[in-house]
Amino acid sequence: MSSTPFASEVFEVLDAAEANELYQRNGWTDGLPIVPPTEDAVARFLAAAKLDAANVIGVEPVRRRSITAEKVAIAAVMAGCLPEYLPVVVAIMKAMCQPEYALHGSTASTGGSAPFIVVNGPVRLALGMNATHNVLANGSRANATIGRSVRLILLNVLGGIPGQLDRSTLGHPGKFTFCVAEDEEDSPWLPLSVERGVAAGASAVTAMQVESPHQIMNEWTHDPKEILDTYAAAMRSNLLTYSIWEGNYAFVIPRQHREIFAAAGWSKQNIRDYVFEVAHVKRSDWRTVGKAAIAGRKDEDKIYRALRSPDDLLVIAAGGPAGGFGAILPPWYGKKSLAVTMPLTT
């Protein structure tokens, strides 16, 4: 220990390799190697975001964790971010600390969900974020390391350690990192952030707690309704095989499908309105998927919708240019956690 402008304990190590081994040994990583969060690096990151180390970004009330800018910057350095990424990570944590996000419950749950992050606005281009090929996976440093920063914060600041606070039965690969940019330049639609109240031209993030993405494919029609019937079938499958509870769902719609909607003059709102009507199951349908034991506990003719209203559906333009694919992202636990959009402040 020695004097430091930071509240965090300081360790002296020989080099980056020894730092990595120290953090691995202490369980401070997701298992992948880390970049050493030196005092200098953390100071550079905070300066880039115009933040003081002691600034409180958000509070998780159940475990009484004040998430300081210092700890967020440490995680961002460890994850491999560049300093200019930090305002995005900060905005994500602010979003996830809003009460409607239910940060503790979604982190601790056996349901094993992950924060899914969508970035909008000029910051996407400034940071070189990926919105096209392989968008839900590896594609750019910014996507990968911003998403990873969130996991390291959940791990180290909230104590979301598997088997301890994180009680996930399975989890999914998005828990390592799950961050995309929307392809605003190649989309006929309003950006997600603008639809959710952020001024056009401003940068923002949207965080949503999701289960693993389900990829769909339909390249045998130009009818927008038929395309959406395929997406809705995946939602019905989720209602039956995973969770019947209504809440936020997200669609990731690549260009080939977007062109069909554009040709038909369909906006995101048209998509939401149609999906709201068709994405539902009847309680008795549970009998067809091995859940007869609970189907009869209530009125089996009762209809369960995937969405409480059309606004529950988040439509995101992203993905490679070719292929009749798309993805649905189901909610962790219905409306227990809601998507939150947060503008960047620096």
Which residues of this chain interact with another protein, rule CB under 8 A? 2, 4, 6, 8-16, 18-19, 22-23, 28, 36-39, 42, 61-68, 70-71, 74-75, 78, 99, 102, 104-106, 109-110, 152, 156-159, 167, 333, 336-337
Pairing of strands 325-329, 249-253: antiparallel
Amino acid at the residue 229: D
| Nearest residue (CB) to another protein, 124 versus 336 | 336
| Nearest residue (CB) to another protein, 106 versus 238 | 106
- Cα(55)–Cα(157) distance, integer angstroms: 15
In sequence order, which ranges of 109-174 are alpha helices (DSSP H)?
123-126, 141-156
**Residue 109 beta carbon to another protein: minimum distance, rounded to whole angstroms:** 8
**Residue 242 beta carbon to another protein: minimum distance, rounded to whole angstroms:** 15
* Distance, CA of 77 to chain centre: 20
Nearest to 274 by CA among 237, 306, 241: 306
**Residue 305 beta carbon to another protein: minimum distance, rounded to whole angstroms:** 21
**Residue 66 beta carbon to another protein: minimum distance, rounded to whole angstroms:** 5
**Residue 304 beta carbon to another protein: minimum distance, rounded to whole angstroms:** 17
| Nearest residue (CB) to another protein, 102 versus 250 | 102
| Nearest residue (CB) to another protein, 89 versus 234 | 89
**Residue 54 beta carbon to another protein: minimum distance, rounded to whole angstroms:** 12
Contacts of 81 (CB under 8 A, 6+ apart): 45, 89, 142, 145, 146, 149
- Cα(284)–Cα(293) distance, integer angstroms: 11
DSSP 8-state class, residue 190: P
**Residue 264 beta carbon to another protein: minimum distance, rounded to whole angstroms:** 40
CB 182 within 8 A of CB 315: no
Cα-flanking dihedrals φ and ψ of residue 128, to 5°?
A: 70, 40
| Nearest residue (CB) to another protein, 11 versus 220 | 11
| Nearest residue (CB) to another protein, 66 versus 346 | 66
User: Which two structure tokens, joined as six digits, stand for 109?
Assistant: 């749950």
| Nearest residue (CB) to another protein, 56 versus 264 | 56
Supply the DSSP string of 278-310, one letter for each residue.
Answer: H-EEEGGGGGGGT-HHHHTTS-TT-EEES-SSG
